């Protein structure tokens, strides 16, 4: 059996390709142009617009996470500021994104070191240990990780802890902290395998965490313990609130009960069932906080819960694979916008489950639903999305997601418990979660 590519076969490939005038024409078009631009169905694009039947009140100018992977926290803060803006009639406001980043990285460092201690009996080259070492303080995160940070540390206005170079461009900071944490892992594994006492290991770990804290202060600044907040509303009325701390600022001025929110996913992989609860091993930040918890449901259930929320004037945090069928400048997520089949004269046929199982898709980005366009039968046509990539794309940073795209590439929504059927809420609250491997696609948003 000949399993190599021989040169006679290559000559046949070349002859057939050179004789195909269509392939040559497409090659000439693509050689100096971007694939998205020359594969776009402009006739289809003209049918899309930024008008929606339902939009939540209190939208503000979009934020910009720049060269960092903090989308999940930006989406969470963008959700909070809608409620804060309504309460005080604000035109614009931003929470400190550096503040949540600081505490997330410190908590992730502790979570990583504890995971290293707990897996010290495994070979350093095991898949699990290598996974833990790969990206211990990555920028990404999940909804439950966000809840943990807010419940423990609260939030502050951006003026109290503004963006730094490293918060907006986190690669080098992450690289240096990761290098130190890997060095720490060697020491802790050695102590554990030499049967050192719990106190000795914990004392060593605390010294390590103090070093990480110092590195975070160098890159992000000192997180405030107390502050005053003052602003003006849309009518230019002056507002001042004194003697606040991060937790009182959240509880008294935002006050959402985050434990009342439910995380739904749509994951049709063959190893997962609908109406089952899942968690992801070794995915978290705050050791004593909530673990990751998802209820896997049909896409229609996820959409209906989102519609119910938006109709109730509540924005919805969600996680998706933003890189697929998305035109960043136009701000459009649409399966039909790019005709790759015609461009290549090939058929791309994977369904949602296959894309997840064979590495073609996973959760990569979190954003906020702020609107939906419903037809006369209350079915969604398209969705309004608040992104955190600045105001250049789409409608000043607000994007369009078609309903087809929602079905294929949206994986997660977080809604208030009042907006899902009682039977689903009972499952979410009462079922024991099924544990997924750390590298499962449903944990990818945190990476």
Whether the Cβ atoms of residue 297 and residue 423 lie closer than 8 Å to each other: no
Is the residue at 421 inside a domain?
Answer: yes
% the chain with pLDDT above 90: 97
* Domain containing residue 222: CATH number: 3.90.70.10
Is the residue at 23 inside a domain?
Answer: no
Give tens-digit pLDDT for 253-301.
999 999 999 999 999 999 999 999 999 999 999 999 999 999 999 999 9
Looking at 219, 325, 327, 365, which residue is catalytic? 365
Is the residue at 75 inside a domain?
Answer: yes
Give tens-digit pLDDT for 293-349.
999 999 999 999 999 999 999 999 999 999 999 999 999 999 999 999 999 999 999
Q: How confident is the model at residue 363 (pLDDT cuts 50, 70, 90)?
A: very high
Looking at 71, 263, 267, 320, which residue is catalytic? 71
Is the residue at 6 inside a domain?
Answer: no
Give tens-digit pLDDT for 365-374.
999 999 999 9
What mean pLDDT comes out for the span 400-423? 98
- In whole angstroms, give the CA distance from residue 327 to residue 334: 8
Is the residue at 16 inside a domain?
Answer: no
Q: Is the pLDDT of residue 182 over 90?
A: yes
What mean pLDDT comes out for the span 70-84? 98
What mean pLDDT comes out for the span 134-144? 97
- In whole angstroms, give the CA distance from residue 268 to residue 157: 40
Task: Quote the domain boundaries for residue 192.
Answer: 54-446
Is the residue at 131 inside a domain?
Answer: yes
User: Closest by alpha carbon to 83, among 65, 56, 62?
Assistant: 56
365 included as an active-site residue: yes
Looking at 174, 285, 296, 387, which residue is catalytic? 387
What mean pLDDT comes out for the span 219-246? 98
Q: How confident is the model at residue 193 (pLDDT cuts 50, 70, 90)?
A: very high
Instruction: Name every residue whose Cβ is closer than 8 Å to that of residue 135 and which is 6 or more positions away in sequence.
Output: 174, 178, 447
Distance of CA 113 to the CA centre of its chain: 23
Strand boundaries in 187-343, DSSP class E: 227-232, 238-244, 261-265, 276-280, 294-296, 316-320, 326-327, 332-333
Whether the Cβ atoms of residue 244 and residue 227 lie closer than 8 Å to each other: yes
pLDDT number for residue 42: 83
What mean pLDDT comes out for the span 212-219? 98
Phi, psi values for residue 208, rounded to 5°: -65, -45
Q: Is the pLDDT of residue 430 over 90?
A: yes
pLDDT number for residue 10: 94
Is the residue at 366 inside a domain?
Answer: yes
Q: How confident is the model at residue 2 (pLDDT cuts 50, 70, 90)?
A: confident
pLDDT number for residue 1: 61
- In whole angstroms, give the CA distance from residue 338 to residue 408: 14
- In whole angstroms, give the CA distance from residue 216 to residue 373: 43
User: Closest by alpha carbon to 292, among 445, 403, 75?
Assistant: 445
Whether the Cβ atoms of residue 410 and residue 362 lie closer than 8 Å to each other: no
387 included as an active-site residue: yes
- In whole angstroms, give the CA distance from residue 77 to residue 357: 32
Q: How confident is the model at residue 51 (pLDDT cuts 50, 70, 90)?
A: very high
Output the CA torsion sign for 101, 104, 110, 115: negative
- In whole angstroms, give the CA distance from residue 406 to residue 419: 19
Q: How many structural domains does the chain have? A: 1
pLDDT number for residue 152: 98
**Tokens, residue 346:** 């090939």
pLDDT number for residue 125: 97
pLDDT number for residue 43: 82
The three-point CA angle 362-422-292 to 5° equals 35
Is the residue at 26 inside a domain?
Answer: no
pTM of the model: 0.97
């Amino acid at each position: 059996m000949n399993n190599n590519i021989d040169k006679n076969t290559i000559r046949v490939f070349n002859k057939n390709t050179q004789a195909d005038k269509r392939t040559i024409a497409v090659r000439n078009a693509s050689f100096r142009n971007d694939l998205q631009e020359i594969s776009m169905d402009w006739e289809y694009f003209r049918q899309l617009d930024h008008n929606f039947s339902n939009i939540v009140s209190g939208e503000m100018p979009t934020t910009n996470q720049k060269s960092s992977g903090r989308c999940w926290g930006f989406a969470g803060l963008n959700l909070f500021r809608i409620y804060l803006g309504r309460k005080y009639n604000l035109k614009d406001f931003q929470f400190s994104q550096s503040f949540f980043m600081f505490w997330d990285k410190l908590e992730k460092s502790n979570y990583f070191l504890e995971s290293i201690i707990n897996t010290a009996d495994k070979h350093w080259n095991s898949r699990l240990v290598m996974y833990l070492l790969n990206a211990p303080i990555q920028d990404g995160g999940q909804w439950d990780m966000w809840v943990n940070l807010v419940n423990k540390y609260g939030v502050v206005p951006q003026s109290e802890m503004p963006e730094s170079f490293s918060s907006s461009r986190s690669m080098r900071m992450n690289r240096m902290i990761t290098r130190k944490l890997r060095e720490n892992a060697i020491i802790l594994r050695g102590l554990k395998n030499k049967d050192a006492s719990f106190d000795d290991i914990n004392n060593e770990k605390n010294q390590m965490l103090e070093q990480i804290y110092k590195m975070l202060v160098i890159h992000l600044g000192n997180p405030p313990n107390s502050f005053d907040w003052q602003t003006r509303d849309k009518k230019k009325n002056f507002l001042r609130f004194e003697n606040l701390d991060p937790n009182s600022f959240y509880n008294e001025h935002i006050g959402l009960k985050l434990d009342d929110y439910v995380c739904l996913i749509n994951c049709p992989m063959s190893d997962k069932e609908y109406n089952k609860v899942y968690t992801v091993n070794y995915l978290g930040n705050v050791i004593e906080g909530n673990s990751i918890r998802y209820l896997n449901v049909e896409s229609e259930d996820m959409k209906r819960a989102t519609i119910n929320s938006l109709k109730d004037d509540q924005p919805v945090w969600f996680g998706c694979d933003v890189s697929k069928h998305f035109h960043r400048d136009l701000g459009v997520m649409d399966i039909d916008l790019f005709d790759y089949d015609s461009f290549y004269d090939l058929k791309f046929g994977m369904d949602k489950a296959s894309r997840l199982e064979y590495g073609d898709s996973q959760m990569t980005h979190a954003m906020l639903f702020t609107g939906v366009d419903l037809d006369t039968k209350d079915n969604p046509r398209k969705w309004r999305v608040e992104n955190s990539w600045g105001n250049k794309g789409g409608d000043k940073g607000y994007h369009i997601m078609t309903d087809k795209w929602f079905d294929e590439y949206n994986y997660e929504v977080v809604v208030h418990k009042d907006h899902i059927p009682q039977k689903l809420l009972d499952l979410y609250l009462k079922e024991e979660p099924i544990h997924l491997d750390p590298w499962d696609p449903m944990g990818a948003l945190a990476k």
